[in-house]
Structure 1
Amino acid sequence: MEKHTNAKETRLTPEEYLDLFRKSKALLDGHFLLTSGKHSAQYMQCAQVLQYPERAAILAEGLAASFRDQGIQTVIGPATGGILVAHEVARALGTRALFTERENGIMRLRRGFTLSPGERVLVVEDVITTGGSVREVLAVVREFEAIPVGVGILVDRTGGTVDFGLPMASLIQLHIQAFEAQECPLCAQEIPAIKPGSRKI
């Protein structure tokens, strides 16, 4: 399989990657009411930047550059956030792309997807907060006796504290602080809270 030769080989700085997210309204500053009920001054929705193929390709090339010499044969990510990331990173590396899905609460390969024993696999995800989904995908890879060789993340919200026991690359390390409503400094300033996904966003 031929490698994608038109992708940009030059990696951007973390701030330049962050600027792509901001331009795409994937990273918003304000006062947000999160699904958890907590409040935050920032909100991240990677799908907003991935909807633009050229920007998705730039991000994917940045991740691919960290693993280009690792003999990657397949790139895999969890549905749904990791699907586009896996596809674009695979394009940059000239490999195939797979995604896992939960079936009855268990992460697995479906749709006839399979891995071969010894196959060298890169696991990718759009954003991690605890790394739970990535760990589930790694478990699937190992079930097939394939070899996970690394983890690529667009946005690491753990501040670099997560450890998968493998080489890991992220384009952005971001700590988005969340507050209980009664402790929210934005509420104290009487700044109206917006629920992500509303028409205003």
Structure 2
Amino acid sequence: MLSHKKSLDILRKTNALLEGHFILSSGLHSSKYIQCAKLLSYPSKAEKICKSLAFKIRKNFKKFDLILAPAIGGIVIGYEIGRILKKETIFCERVKGKFTLRRGFKIKKGSKVIIIEDVITTGKSSMECVKLIKKSNAILVGFATIIDRSSKKTLKIKKKIISHLKIEVPTYKSNKIPKELDSIPISRPGSRFIK
């Protein structure tokens, strides 16, 4: 198991955790930005974190049949956790704005499913995955993520989330930015701004 400090060191060294002044996809401002894709570009470092998360999943979810990951952020994490735990892993992707199973993927009736993501902020993507599980008459076992940066105020998930790391990421509306953050130049790293 990786310690919290070692995990944060890995995230900083791979630029998966940035500090500065960011406008997030939500339009809110923050002093931290998390981009797990940067961690995944270093497979040997990502493997250490995924092994640690797999250990926690095994400890908390005794029986499950399938891992479902939302595209695109959850695909690599889902695959790696599936490889470690020797579980079938599929992903869903957006078609006309809604998560759909494509490529011949199916969730068998009655199967026990875990949803795995890279980062959970509000849980909106995960809850969209839950609809696919219910539609297949399967059973949701729980949620797992590398980084849980949710807050009770914004989280849509009511079940327990198993995470490798829980990171507090304060966010601010544009009219309530603290002075120390307001003095730092703004970055817009998210993909939602790309036209």
Q: Letter of the 2:86 partner, please give it.
A: G
**1:86-142 deviation line (CA, Å, top 9, x unaligned):** 101101101121101122222121111001112222111111111011011122112
Cα distance in 2 for residues equivalent to 1:182 and 1:112: 47
Of residues 31, 38, 45, the one that matches 1:55 is: 45
- CA separation of 1:85 and 1:160: change in aligned 2, threshold 3 A: farther
- Unpaired segments of 5 or more residues in structure 2? 191-195
Partner SS, residue 46 of structure 2: helix
Partner of 1:4: none
Q: Letter of the 1:87 partner, please give it.
A: Y
RMSD: 2.3
Partner of 2:75: 83
Contact 1:123/1:152, CA 8 A, preserved across alignment: yes
Of residues 20, 24, 35, the one that matches 2:10 is: 20
Contact 2:127/2:156, CA 8 A, preserved across alignment: no
Cα distance in 1 for residues equivalent to 2:131 and 2:22: 34
Pairs aligned (count): 188
Shift of residue 32 of structure 1? 2.1
Shift of residue 45 of structure 1? 0.6
- Unpaired segments of 5 or more residues in structure 1? 1-10
Quote the sequence identity (%).
36
Cα distance in 1 for residues equivalent to 2:41 and 2:6: 18
Contact 1:159/1:174, CA 8 A, preserved across alignment: no
Of residues 138, 160, 182, the one that matches 1:146 is: 138
Partner SS, residue 66 of structure 1: helix
- CA separation of 1:129 and 1:30: change in aligned 2, threshold 3 A: same
TM-score of the aligned structures, taking structure 2 as reference length:
0.85
Cα distance in 1 for residues equivalent to 2:32 and 2:67: 30
Contact 2:144/2:161, CA 8 A, preserved across alignment: yes
Cα distance in 1 for residues equivalent to 2:181 and 2:12: 26
Partner of 1:136: 128
